[in-house]
């Protein structure tokens, strides 16, 4: 929901809010509906499983690099074996 900012976010258990969101959607001009849908489709197409997996791998690699740096610094500046954990 945080990424799909063009969407009308609704708690399906809140009938009042769902009703309000539906009324809002029905009052939107066709141009606004189309604009929102284009933006939502673009964002969903860009945020696919491959991008997610790539970010996970990149983040893991960066974390591993940070851990290696911490170990080297601990060894260099006398942190002992406890600092490497």
For residues 36 and 7, the answer to whether their CB atoms sit within 8 Å is yes
Domains of the chain, by residue range, sit at 1-47
pLDDT of 32 strictly over 90: yes
Nearest to 8 by CA among 30, 29, 31, 33: 33
The per-residue pLDDT for range 35-80, each reduced to its tens digit, is: 999 999 999 888 888 888 898 999 988 888 888 888 888 888 876 5
The per-residue pLDDT for range 15-31, each reduced to its tens digit, is: 999 999 999 999 999 99
- pLDDT band at residue 81 under the 50/70/90 scheme: low
pLDDT of the residue at 84: 46
Interior angle at CA 45, CA 17 and CA 32, nearest 5? 45
H helices present in 1-85, as ranges: 15-27, 30-46, 49-76
How many whole angstroms separate alpha carbon 73 and alpha carbon 62? 16
């Amino acid at each position: 929901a945080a990424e799909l900012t063009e969407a009308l976010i609704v708690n399906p258990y809140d009938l009042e809010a769902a009703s309000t969101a539906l009324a809002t959607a029905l009052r939107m001009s066709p141009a606004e509906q189309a604009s929102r849908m284009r933006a939502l489709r673009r964002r969903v197409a860009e945020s696919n499983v491959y991008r997610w997996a790539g970010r996970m791998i990149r983040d893991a690699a960066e974390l591993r690099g940070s851990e290696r740096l911490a170990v080297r610094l601990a060894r260099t500046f006398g942190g002992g074996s406890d600092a490497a954990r």
